[in-house]
């Protein structure tokens, strides 16, 4: 594991900004000026308008939909098989994590190869095959990538892992031991504890509330359950094969057709996804994490499904509030110095996703930081955004499409989304104009619709004594320990 210059240096080194203070002497909080525009810099007024390259698409004979973007810059190819219906969303009731267990263990041996043989072959070629399944995602992904001249080997291994996993009992036992420890370790992370609690208050008992497998579901895991989940869910009926790289469409089509020829449709319908119950009101939760020196603050709520027309105004509203150098960052960090970062994001899929604002602040300023965070959300509801803020946010969103052209995999992801959510064929061609059409009234409307006080769920992770008084001002506080158990007080 070499520390490759770039990947690690930029992730592990200290940066000025996340994408995501000791009180000065005297203990007072300094309020700095925040952002000031002198408007002397030579900005090119023309926004570089780009057209995303069009993918080539075809259906393979077993029903898999192929989406391909040619990229000749480097001698590499990347295959991603996205299997709708094999994600954690479809975990059987009471066995959260089964889809993820299946995905991980598919890579641990096939009917003709041990886990070691697969690893040695891939590592020798500096290639990779992996299987992933997010705990609330409707789909699982089998990925294979390598240099062009090895791609036949990679593709064969990828297909073998996808179609013929053998789930050896020794690998299941090893996996259980390792995962037991990981389930324990993740509880040391304030971010995990915050997500666990926030998802619970946003989604209740709905599958979208899950953030992780549980010790109970891990212990209950059997080889039979893995075999059954794989057989039932890893089927080509609704799969999409996304490919980028150094090949022609004809080559990719022929290779994919041959590699996945034995993968047959099941004919079974995909179970419908259901919406979570509507929120019943606001809530305030505290997860007690002893020895915390920061409070991890989260304010979240239910958002929208991907096809909702509010997607565009919410995208703009969220950018203004919690995007890079948005109001949360400007206020909580650049003016007050409470935090290293403050941002918000929303997710959306075939069903309603979530919206979350996040910041981690030193324990001592939990109260003013939370007050300011809620005040910024309130301002979005109460005051129409000034034209300048609106224009800058829209320009940033539209302008950033140029940078996508360096990253065919990101462009491909857009086209996969288009297919997956049944968006119109010209969706990405009209995206910029739809963003530009958003008005200040639209932004205020969605802020009032989604960010009302009655919908906001507040979660804090940190030191009990330092955090509880601030939360009590906002309502009845439900208190939990770091294992997720309620603490009755």
Partner 1 sequence: MFRPFRAGLVFALLAVVSAGAADGPVIKFTDVKLKNGLRVIISEDHTAPTVSVAVNYYVGSADERKGRTGFAHLFEHMMFKGSENVGPGEHPALIFTNGGSMNGTTNQDRTLYYETVPANQIELALFLEADRMKSLDINKANLDNQRGAVQEERRLRMDNQPYGKTFEVTGEQAYDNPAYKHSVIGSMEDLSAANVDDVATFFKTYYAPNNAVLSIVGDVDTKKTMALIEKYFGAIARQPDPKRPDLTEPPHTAERRSTIEDPLARLPRLDVSWIVPPAQSADSPALDVLSDVLSSGRSSRINQVVVREKQLATSAGAFAADSKGPGLFSAFAMVAPGKKVEEVEAAIYEEIEKVKNGPIAAWEIEKAHNGARRNQAAQATSTLARAVQLGEYAMFYNDPNLINTRTDKILKVTAADVQRVAKKYLTRENRSVVITLPKAAPPKGGQ
Return the residues of window 398-437 that contact partner 1 according to CB under 8 A: 398-403, 405-407
In angstroms, rounded to a whole number, what is the distance separating the alpha carbons of residues 85 and 164? 18
Residue 379 in the binding site for partner 1 (CB under 8 A): no
Residue 115 in the binding site for partner 1 (CB under 8 A): yes
Would you call 3 exposed, middle or buried from its count of C-beta atoms within 10 A (0-12, 13-18, 19+)? exposed
If DSSP codes are grouped into helix, strand and coil, which group holds residue 431? helix
Which residue(s) pair with 462 in the sheet? 288
Q: How many CB atoms lie within 10 A of CB 438?
A: 20
In angstroms, rounded to a whole number, what is the distance separating the alpha carbons of residues 106 and 75? 28
Residue 70 in the binding site for partner 1 (CB under 8 A): no
What would the two tokens of residue 323 be?
């995007």
**Measured in Å, how far apart are the chain's first and last C-alpha atoms?**
48
Distances (CA, A) of 460 to 124, 288, 295, 454: 46, 8, 6, 18
Residue 181 in the binding site for partner 1 (CB under 8 A): yes
Choice from 92, 94, 169, 188 touching partner 1 (CB under 8 A):
188
If DSSP codes are grouped into helix, strand and coil, which group holds residue 394? helix
Residues 30-69 that bind partner 1 (CB under 8 A): 30-38, 40-44, 46-48, 50
Residue 26 in the binding site for partner 1 (CB under 8 A): no
Q: How far is the CB of 329 from partner 1 (least distance, A)?
A: 9
Residue 124 in the binding site for partner 1 (CB under 8 A): yes
Residue 27 in the binding site for partner 1 (CB under 8 A): no
Q: How far is the CB of 438 from partner 1 (least distance, A)?
A: 16
Choice from 111, 219, 454, 489 touching partner 1 (CB under 8 A):
489
Residue 126 in the binding site for partner 1 (CB under 8 A): yes
In angstroms, rounded to a whole number, what is the distance separating the alpha carbons of residues 291 and 304? 37
Closest CB to partner 1 among 367 and 481?
Answer: 481
Choice from 288, 380, 390, 440 touching partner 1 (CB under 8 A):
288
Q: How far is CA 405 from the centre of its chain?
A: 21
Closest CB to partner 1 among 76 and 283?
Answer: 76
Residue 325 in the binding site for partner 1 (CB under 8 A): yes
Choice from 54, 57, 120, 250 touching partner 1 (CB under 8 A):
120
Q: How far is the CB of 448 from partner 1 (least distance, A)?
A: 26
Residue 383 in the binding site for partner 1 (CB under 8 A): no
Q: How many residues bind partner 1 (CB under 8 A)?
A: 103
Residue 267 in the binding site for partner 1 (CB under 8 A): no
CB 263 within 8 A of CB 236: yes
Cβ-Cβ contacts under 8 Å for 408 (sequence gap 6 or more) = 53, 69, 71, 244, 245
């Amino acid at each position: 594991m070499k520390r490759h210059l770039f990947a690690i240096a930029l992730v592990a080194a200290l940066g000025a900004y996340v994408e995501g203070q000791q009180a000065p002497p005297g203990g007072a909080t300094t309020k700095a000026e925040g952002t000031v525009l002198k408007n002397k810099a030579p900005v090119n007024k023309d926004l570089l308008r780009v057209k995303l390259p069009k993918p080539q698409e075809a259906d393979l004979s077993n029903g898999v939909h192929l989406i391909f973007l040619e990229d000749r810059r480097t001698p590499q190819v990347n295959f991603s098989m996205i299997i709708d219906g094999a994600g954690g969303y479809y975990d059987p009731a009471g066995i959260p994590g089964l889809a993820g267990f299946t995905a991980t263990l598919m890579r641990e041996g096939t009917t003709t190869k041990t886990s070691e043989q697969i690893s040695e072959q891939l590592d020798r070629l500096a290639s990779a095959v992996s299987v992933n399944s997010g705990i609330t995602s409707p789909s699982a992904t089998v990925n294979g990538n390598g240099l062009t001249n090895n791609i036949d080997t990679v593709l064969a291994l990828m297909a073998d892992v996808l179609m013929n996993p053998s789930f050896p009992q020794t690998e299941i036992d090893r996996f259980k031991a390792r995962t037991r420890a990981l389930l324990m370790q993740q509880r040391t992370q304030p971010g995990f504890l915050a997500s666990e609690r926030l998802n619970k208050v946003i989604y209740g008992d709905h599958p979208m509330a899950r953030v992780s497998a549980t010790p109970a579901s891990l212990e209950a895991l059997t080889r039979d359950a893995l075999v059954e989940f794989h057989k039932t869910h890893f089927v080509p009926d609704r799969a999409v094969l996304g490919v980028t790289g150094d090949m022609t469409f004809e080559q990719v089509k022929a290779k994919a057709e041959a590699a996945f020829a034995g993968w047959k449709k099941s004919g079974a319908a995909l179970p419908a996804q259901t919406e979570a119950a509507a929120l019943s009101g606001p809530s305030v939760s505290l997860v007690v994490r002893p020895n915390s020196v920061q409070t991890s603050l989260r304010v979240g709520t239910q958002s929208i499904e991907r096809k909702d027309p509010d997607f565009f105004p919410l995208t703009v509203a969220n950018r203004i509030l919690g995007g890079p150098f948005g109001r949360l960052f400007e206020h909580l960090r650049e003016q007050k110095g409470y935090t290293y970062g403050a941002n918000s994001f929303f997710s959306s899929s075939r069903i309603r996703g979530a919206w979350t604002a996040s910041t981690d602040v030193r324990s001592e300023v939990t109260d003013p930081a939370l007050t300011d965070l809620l005040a910024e959300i309130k301002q979005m509801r109460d005051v129409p955004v000034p034209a300048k803020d609106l224009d800058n946010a829209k320009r940033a969103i539209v302008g950033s499409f140029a940078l996508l052209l360096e990253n065919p995999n990101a462009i491909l992801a857009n086209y996969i989304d288009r297919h997956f959510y049944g968006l119109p064929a010209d969706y990405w061609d009209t995206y910029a104009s739809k963003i530009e059409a958003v008005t200040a009234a639209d932004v205020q409307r969605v802020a009032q619709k989604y960010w009302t006080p009655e919908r906001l769920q507040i979660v804090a992770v940190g030191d009990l004594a330092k955090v509880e008084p601030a939360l009590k001002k906002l309502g009845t506080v439900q208190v939990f320990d770091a294992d997720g158990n309620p603490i009755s007080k």
